[in-house]
Amino acid sequence: MPVESIRWDEDHATILDQTRLPHEERYLEIASPEAMFEAIQRLRVRGAPAIGVAAAFGLYLGVRDHRGTMEDLLRQVDEVAGMLARSRPTAVNLFWALDRMKGRARELAAADPAEPVQVREGLLEEALRMLEEDREVCQRIGLHGLRLLTPGMRILTHCNTGALATVGIGTALAPVFLAHERGIAVEVYADETRPLLQGARLTAWELQRAGIPVTLLCDGAAASLMARGGVDLVLVGADRVAANGDVANKVGTSGVALAAQAYGVPFYVASPLSTIDLGLATGQEIPIEERDGREVTEVGGVRIAPEGVRVHNPAFDVTPHRFITGIITERGIVHPPFEAALRELVR
């Protein structure tokens, strides 16, 4: 059974607190939009698709006790959505999910203006629909990506794109899980992913748990592994894909892409359509989250850098589309030139 990153339990959301992995599997009850905001911002729940679903539940939690007029309710929907939207800026799934919830609220309000209760209940249904859809999307990405995998393949990945990052079997790791299920033996090299170590703490844990051979390496070791011919394929996820195919993903991804290009290793990005932002022409326009410098100066709460040193801590980077071999979506794999292919897919 894949691990469950987030679920709905009658009157609250339950998330697996990913900041505690791999040492402790602790589940948290999230019963307010403020608690969901904190969970997203602190990366207790993380990964682009998972934070989209989390935000949708957060929005519902913020309006479920509302008892005013329809006008008031719609105002509250917008306010809570605005608050949740400030949690993290890069993964477009967060904004995609909140926009979809706001749109649904307005649709239901227009259909029955005298029944705010229909809107409130409809928002929970919409969030649950997103959860179900993400499961299906992950499965489809897995099936399309599976076509790239052959027995014995050595796959390098960066960050965490498995069940923890979604509510299904993952994006970039979905083909790996399906290959394993079908008895196609593949192995994974997982970059540790500094500074927050999603590769070491989460990907290594998730793959080990599934019985998939995984080797952990420092981010700085990926290029030389490729130079030695040790990698057959790179598979990574995405937080936002611009119209021209530029991809924002966990910081360090663009270095992996450059090395892959230099050493002739195919570099594929797995991305649900909800991660594609056709409103941005290129990756230069993608907002990149800058996080607390202590994530770099400390490891596990222990200071490793001199006091007072300046820190540059972007959480993501942009891989230019020219380094990307293909983008795996739930509707198939697209190759360059990406612009027209992505527009066609989203249409």
Residues in contact with ligand MRU by CB under 6 A are 43, 46-49, 91, 159, 161, 165-166, 171, 198, 237-239, 249-250, 315
Instruction: Name which of 45 and 259 has its Cβ closer to ligand MRU.
Output: 45
Instruction: Name which of 43 and 200 has its Cβ closer to ligand MRU.
Output: 43
In the complex, residue closest to ligand MRU by CB: 237
CB of 337 to ligand MRU, least distance (A): 23
Instruction: Name which of 244 and 249 has its Cβ closer to ligand MRU.
Output: 249
Instruction: State the Cα–Cα distance between residues 275 and 47, nearest whole angstrom.
Output: 11
- Whole-number CA gyration radius for the chain: 20
Instruction: State the Cα–Cα distance between residues 128 and 159, nearest whole angstrom.
Output: 27
Two tokens at 215? 């080797």
48 is in an annotated binding site: yes
Q: How far is CA 305 from CA 194, 293, 294, 311, in A?
A: 14, 11, 9, 10
Instruction: State the Cα–Cα distance between residues 49 and 166, nearest whole angstrom.
Output: 5
300: left (phi > 0), else alpha (psi -120 to 50), else beta? left
The sign of the CA dihedral 224, 225, 228, 233 is negative
Active-site annotation holds for 239: yes
Instruction: State the Cα–Cα distance between residues 327 and 321, nearest whole angstrom.
Output: 10
- DSSP conformation letters of 150-205: -TT-EEEE-S--SGGGSSSS-STTHHHHHHHHTT---EEEEE--TTTTHIIIIIHH
CB of 239 to ligand MRU, least distance (A): 5
> Is the separation of the CB atoms in 80 and 33 below 8 Å?
yes
Q: Which of 134, 191, 219, 239 is catalytic?
A: 239
CB of 119 to ligand MRU, least distance (A): 30
Q: How many CA atoms lie within 13 A of 224 on its CB side?
A: 5
Kindly compute the dihedral angle of the four CA atoms of residues 209, 269, 283, 323, in this order, to the nearest 10 degrees. 120
Helix, strand, coil tally for the chain in percent (to 5): 45, 15, 35
93 is in an annotated binding site: no
CB of 113 to ligand MRU, least distance (A): 38
CB of 88 to ligand MRU, least distance (A): 7
85 is in an annotated binding site: no
Neighbour-count burial of 141, counting CB atoms closer than 10 A to its CB (0-12 exposed, 13-18 middle, 19+ buried):
buried
CB of 115 to ligand MRU, least distance (A): 37
> Is the separation of the CB atoms in 133 and 49 below 8 Å?
no
The sign of the CA dihedral 221, 222, 226, 230 is positive
249 is in an annotated binding site: yes
- Residues annotated as binding site for substrate? 46-48, 88, 198, 249-250
Catalytic residues: 239
Binding site residues, as ranges? 46-48, 88, 198, 249-250
